[in-house]
Amino acid sequence: MENGNSLSKPVVPELEKKLLERIKDSEVSLRIMHVCGTHERTIAKYGLRNLLPERIEVISGPGCPVCVTPEEDINIALALAKSGVTIVTFGDMMRVPGSAESLLDVKSEGADVRMVYSIDDAIVLAEKKPELEVVFFGIGFETTVPSNAAALLRNTPENFSLFASQKQTPPAINFLASDTNVDAFIAPGHVATIIGTEPFEPLAENGFPVVVSGFEAGDILLGINLLQDQVEKGISRVDNGYPRAVKPEGNQIAQKIMDRVFETSDSEWRGIGKIEASGLVLRKEFEEKDAAKKYEDLYASALEDVRKKAERKDKKRCICAAILTGKAKPSQCPNFGESCTPKSPAGPCMVSQEGMCYNWFKYARIGGGKLA
């Protein structure tokens, strides 16, 4: 079994010890949801669930970008790749199965699928290889959207387009607040660095204590304690537990660039369904760069083909949908650690370092999987 850390007992530094003592001194019980793959990795890697008192439960929501990218979008990318278009995307995205197969599968059959680290790499490829039709399959949250927008504001080659499968975090949290049995939320610090703390206010107005947290173990422990403080005082507000990076107003330059290029749309989240106003699509003035428009006809026929194949495929039962909404834990999945491992993922939550199943598997020995 793969393990990223051979320690059997976490070593707790002084600051974290003090924060833990404060958490344990409080009698507040909380079921807290975070919505960030990096938070999940820190929690699992440092065995934080093992250190917290039983009355504090921390569950993971939909914070892993490849986990929430809908099957249908992956199917479209697959169809484009099979038609001869060059699909470029992040490495993790290549391994996530659509309805029937992954981009890596079709690459092994000869399709032109390439890994990049950013949209800029994809543009450079299009410039160097004008004979290719290059589509960047852009996924992710408000953290990656500004760089996509900035790239499109520059002159890009004619043979380049963007297939945007981008998400906005606050609408998803608001949706989950009404659907999930959760008392409080930890909001992602990197997203708040861009959008600020204000978009999380409606959640607090609806009675949910919220804290914006950074990504060190101490940041998360501080966040939990700030949430306890709110409950003890009988209030709900948005606390900024990551002031070294997050300003209340966020990064206004990044917001302007995003707004210039993208507009809000409804969006499908894998395992959750459609969430109102939670997506970002290209504005009309950028439709020449919009792969969804450029390959409209191809989508329809190719998608039909992919769907038929998907219906024939005997899919392994994957409970990522329940995991992403805090209704189940990875250890409740019959495939976990058996037919589904990071080397051979059967579902999206096992693919990325930000996926909950991946982290529970990788850090099992030090307590990544407590609360099973």
CB of 329 to ligand SF4, least distance (A): 9
Burial track 319-349 (b if 16+ CB lie within 10 A, e otherwise): bbbebbbbebbbeebebbbeebbbeebbbbb
Q: Please tell me the number of Cα atoms within 13 Å of 116 on its side-chain side.
A: 22
Q: How far apart are CA 277 and CA 265, in angstroms?
A: 5
Strand segments, DSSP code E, in the chain are 30-34, 56-60, 86-89, 113-115, 134-140, 160-167, 184-188, 210-213, 238-240, 262-269, 273-282
**Residue 345 CB, nearest approach to ligand SF4 (Å):** 6
In one-letter notation, the amino acid at residue 129 is K
Q: Which of 148, 336, 363, 368 binds ligand SF4 (CB under 6 A)?
A: 336
Tell me whether residue 209 or residue 330 sits nearer to ligand SF4 (CB atom): 330
209 binds ligand SF4 per the rule CB under 6 A: no
Q: Could you tell me how far CA 324 lies from the centroid of its own chain? A: 10
Give me 54's structure tokens.
């039983």
Q: How far is the CB of 9 from ligand SF4 (least distance, A)?
A: 26
The yes or no reply on residue 364 touching ligand SF4 (CB under 6 A) is: no
Which of 62, 347, 367, 368 forms a contact with ligand SF4 (CB under 6 A)?
A: 347
Which three-class secondary structure state does DSSP give residue 300? helix
Ranges within 316-335 binding ligand SF4 (CB under 6 A):
318-320, 323, 330, 333, 335
Dihedral sign, CA of 175, 65, 10, 218? negative
Task: Work out whether 346 is an interface residue with ligand SF4 (CB under 6 A).
Answer: yes
**Under the criterion CB under 6 A, does residue 64 sit at the interface with ligand SF4?**
no
Q: Interface with ligand SF4 includes 23 (CB under 6 A)? A: no
Q: Is 59 in the site for ligand SF4 (CB under 6 A)?
A: no
Q: Confirm or reject binding of residue 214 to ligand SF4 (CB under 6 A).
A: no
To ligand SF4, the closest distance from the beta carbon of 357 in angstroms equals 3
Token reading at 363: 């850090």
| 363 binds ligand SF4, rule: CB under 6 A | no
Give 21's contacts (C-beta < 8 A, 6+ positions apart).
none
Q: Considering the complex, what minimum distance in angstroms separates the CB of residue 340 from ligand SF4?
A: 3
Q: Tell me: does residue 138 bind ligand SF4 (CB under 6 A).
A: no
- Specify the residue, 91 or 248, whose C-beta has the smaller distance to ligand SF4: 91
Nearer to ligand SF4, 36 or 351 (CB): 351
| Residue 139: both structure tokens together | 């996924």
| Residues lying near ligand SF4 in the complex (CB under 6 A) | 318-320, 323, 330, 333, 335-336, 340, 345-347, 349-350, 357
